[in-house]
Chain A
């Protein structure tokens, strides 16, 4: 089941009514959500439900052990023995969580890569290459649970003692498929108390869901089969102009697919009185790569920076104070998290190196600013801002080639084609009103955040209810006519 599929229109009303018409207690609400999440999960693969349940038992138990009074309070809390015991519990629990992810997601990749290396050296294959079915959302649930364990270990959040609340926190169905990656401090508190249905919550939830659906089903699903898939399937056959168009199309598709899904998940969460974290904040307005990653897939990047980058660069290892090396590690991990292929490794490496260069440049420029105030003015001037924006967006665009290409040779063919060394084919499809509508939608969406955009948004929300209702009705009718039949799966669900 997917949030954008028709089956969700059958599933959601039942869960919604059970949730709000039942007893006004956190335990009831969590039980309904947990049951709904189990059904949601089972519609993908019931046999792998046990994997998720097992992982949750391990992390919940480890959390309880880390927060046990004997280890948590009293004069013994700082004892070396206690510290060692807590560290051991954390290591075992995180090892189990990551081990599970490693077996299901990376065993095949590493075994395949090692065998390829051996065969290049003329040696026989050493490891069997496993091809296991990836449990739904394992990349997301693993990060949620590892984050929780670290929070409890660092004593930033108390251990959760309610298994139902914990299970719902990890596996709440809207976030299961593609995030956002929730964090213990913000969410466990919400699951600990009974939620109230308010008109604000319902209206903003429904609005976010509708916007997300439009992004996914209207823009992403229209662009994918017409502009993106055929070109990436055989890049060598297409002209440079077509390749550029397709790359822009993919950037739009990826954003609308993933940000659309995130909005739908956030909207669904709100309709249950839960506030999931923001995942996108107008990334195409970014004027530097660092800013871009604060606006794109926010929940993953804050996770990586809080739980990997920060401990790495402030700890006692070689990485201490070496931010550039930290960026490299973070983005290599991010690349591998997206998928166990060399194309994702290359994508992560490119972003890690670029962030490290940008960080060095930023330090240098700030140094100049301290010496000469004109540098401050230049940085704020139009040409500098425009150039920064263009370089940032162009870099992101180009790194989407390995991100989308099936393998390194296809990525290389696409890249050389962009420079004019490709084929002669264009896209057969004539781009009419709908292509223009997709582009306008993207532009409009981002322009709502700049200049008079926010005021315009507020102005719409302040319109009389009947007028707003008419607009929503027209949007719904438009989507029912123009959304392509058969919504595809979400891109980020495969990660």
Chain B
């Protein structure tokens, strides 16, 4: 073996210095790509166990907008009403149904020794959605199919799958998540796959590539628009509809009112074709679906107080300031019933939204 005879002291010292260097580099990279802590399902479920919320907002990453709605609602109700957001990254109803069955249900149905529910405050469920959620799982889009192990599984789910199938690229996503959770404050770990560090370093070395960014914006916008336009052919996939029905039936069966909320879309990114086809059809069909299943329907797709500046550069998510504005706006209007602390779903009468993409 190469090198001179070493002592434990020198090996430990070298190891410690390596770790310190790594930590120092990581800290320096916080300036370029600071980790952005996001609410994930695990944390949401911990919050459920600890907080006994009155409202559950389940959806894709869009459900995180309801953290701001929760703050505004708590303020207005003096803390008597509390929304818990359950964000299932990448969306679609089949993963939502899985999360409901495997993560929400055990907490919701937990009873004490006398058989009484441990948490019985839940009165409302908001299903935060958009057209994308109703489309089929595309086998070519790995990021969607890996959503559950990457976001929702627990160790028992991982071990069951690994015992049955061995370690696969699918279930390895769970380990990725555990790793990322363990190092949630590390830029080096959190930036893997996003490339903000390399972009930041490039910018520091070569300056900002304004022309390149413009070109990239145009390309991304084109891709985004055509994705929305083409979505019209894939709306209301039977598997997804079944999962949505499963969610609605479960909550309604427990006397919990359900509201379908169509999430706001960034105005400047929507072509007229997208509005006339995918968005209009989705809104109309979801409205009909809501009426058929006797649930409330709120369409914020195009009817919202936000401008393009209130959206992130990914065209999809709302900025923190935008979320605050949206929260106040919806609690004054479509979601005002949350402020009133509406009780369990007894009437089952739907309230169709007005305007929207129709």
Which A positions have Cβ atoms within 8 angstroms of B? Answer: 1, 5-7, 9-10, 42-46, 199-204, 270, 275, 457-458, 461-462, 465-470, 472-474, 476-477, 480-482, 485
Cα distance A7–B191 in the bound complex, in angstroms: 19
Chain B, residues 12-25, CB within 8 Å of chain A (1/0): the string is 01111111111011
Q: Is B31 in contact with chain A by the CB < 8 A criterion?
A: no
B46 at the interface (CB under 8 A from A): no
Is the pair B2, A466 in contact by a Cβ cutoff of 8 Å? Answer: no
**Nearest A residue to B178 by beta-carbon distance?**
A10
Which of A203, A457, A477 touches B22 (beta carbons < 8 Å)?
A: A477
Query: In the complex, which residues of chain B have a beta carbon less than 8 angstroms from the beta carbon of A466?
Result: 13-14, 17
Bound form: Cα–Cα A10–B182 in Å: 12
Q: How far is the CA of A9 from the CA of B180 in the complex (A)?
A: 13
Residue of A nearest to B205 (CB): A433
Q: Which residues of B contact A (CB under 8 A)?
A: 1-11, 13-22, 24-26, 162-163, 166-167, 172, 175-176, 178-179, 188-189, 191-193, 197-198, 201
Within 8 Å by CB of B172, from A5, A42, A201, lies A5
- Asked if B189 and A1 sit within 8 Å, CB to CB, the answer is no
| Pairwise interchain contact A477-B21, C-beta atoms closer than 8 A | yes
Asked whether B179 lies within 8 Å of A9 as measured between CB atoms, the reply is: yes
Q: A89 vs B318: C-alpha distance in the bound complex, in angstroms?
A: 74
A367 to chain B, nearest CB (A): 40
Q: Which 9 A-B pairs have the closest CB atoms?
A: A469-B17, A473-B21, A461-B3, A469-B14, A473-B18, A477-B25, A472-B18, A43-B167, A465-B10
* Interchain Cβ contacts under 8 Å between A and B, 30 examples: A6-B175, A7-B172, A7-B175, A10-B178, A45-B166, A46-B163, A199-B7, A199-B11, A200-B1, A200-B5, A201-B1, A203-B6, A204-B2, A458-B2, A461-B4, A462-B3, A468-B14, A469-B21, A470-B18, A470-B21, A472-B17, A472-B18, A473-B25, A474-B25, A477-B25, A480-B188, A481-B191, A481-B197, A481-B201, A482-B198
What residues on B are CB-neighbors of A476 within 8 Å?
18, 21-22
Which residue from chain B places its CB closest to the CB of A472 in the assembled complex?
Answer: B18
A32→B7 CA distance, assembly (Å): 27
When distances are taken between beta carbons in the complex, the residues of chain B under 8 Å from A457 are 2
Inter-chain contacts of A42 with B (CB < 8 A):
166
Residue from the list A43, A270, A458, A461 in contact with B162, Cβ < 8 A: A43
Asked if A202 meets B17 with Cβ closer than 8 Å, knowing A6-B176, A7-B167, A481-B188, the reply is no
Asked if residues A43 and B19 are in contact (CB atoms below 8 Å), the reply is no
Contacts A7-B175, A469-B13 given; does A200 touch B6 at CB 8 Å: yes
Q: A200-B1, A482-B198 are in contact. List 10 more A-B contacts (CB 8 A).
A: A1-B167, A6-B176, A43-B166, A44-B167, A200-B6, A203-B6, A465-B10, A469-B17, A473-B17, A477-B188
Known contacts A6-B179, A472-B14; A44 and B166 CB within 8 A of each other: yes
Q: Per DSSP, are chain A's interface residues mostly helix, strand or loop, or mixed?
A: helix
- Determine the chain A residues whose CB is within 8 A of the CB of B162 once the complex forms: 43
**Can you name the residue of chain B whose Cβ is closest to the Cβ of A1?**
B167
Q: Which chain A residues border B22 with CB–CB below 8 Å? A: 473, 476-477
List chain A residues, Cβ under 8 A from B26.
477
A residues less than 8 Å from B167 (CB atoms): 1, 7, 43-44
Contact A465 B17 (CB under 8 A): yes
C-alpha gap A201/B21 in the complex (Å): 23
- Cβ–Cβ < 8 Å partners of A469 in chain B: 13-18, 20-21
- The answer to whether A465 and B13 have CB atoms under 8 Å apart is yes
Residue in chain A with minimal CB distance to B7: A199
In angstroms, Cα B175 to Cα A43, docked, is 14
Distance in angstroms between the alpha carbons of A45 and B165 in the assembled complex: 8
Complex alpha-carbon distance, A201 and B6, angstroms: 9
Contact residues in B for A465 (Cβ distance below 8 Å): 9-11, 13-14, 17
- Point out the residues of chain B lying under 8 angstroms from A202, CB to CB: 11
For residue A199, which residues in chain B have a CB less than 8 angstroms away from its CB?
Answer: 6-8, 10-11
Cα distance, A46 to B163, chains bound together (Å): 8
In the assembled complex, how far is the CB of residue A303 from the closest CB belonging to chain B, in whole angstroms? 23
Decide if A485 touches B6 in the complex (CB within 8 Å): no
Q: What A residues does B172 contact at CB under 8 A? A: 5-7
Residues of A near B8 (CB, < 8 A) are: 199
The answer for the CA separation of A468 and B163 in the assembled complex, in Å, is: 41
Q: Which of the residues B9, B18, B166 comes within 8 Å of A46, measured between beta carbons?
A: B166
B4/A462 in contact, CB under 8 A: yes
- What B residues does A44 contact at CB under 8 A? 166-167
Q: How far is the CA of A469 from the CA of B16 in the complex (A)?
A: 7
Residue of A nearest to B17 (CB): A469
Complex Cα gap A199–B193 (Å): 35
Q: Within 8 Å CB of A482, what residues of B?
A: 198
Bound CA–CA A467/B197 (angstroms): 25
Q: Is the CB of B25 within 8 A of A204?
A: no
In the complex, which of the residues B163, B175, B193, B198 has the most CB atoms of chain A within 10 Å of its own CB atom?
A: B175
Whole-angstrom distance between the Cβ of B200 and the nearest chain A Cβ: 10
Determine how close the nearest CB of chain B comes to the CB of A344; give it in whole angstroms.
Answer: 27
Within the complex, the shortest CB–CB distance from B225 to chain A, in Å, comes to 24
Chain A nearest CB from B311 CB (Å) reads 26
Nearest Cβ distance between residue A470 and chain B, in whole angstroms?
5
- In angstroms, Cα B1 to Cα A204, docked, is 7
Q: CA A42 – CA B189 in complex, angstroms?
A: 28
Closest to A43 in B: B167
CA distance A480 to B186 in the complex (A): 11
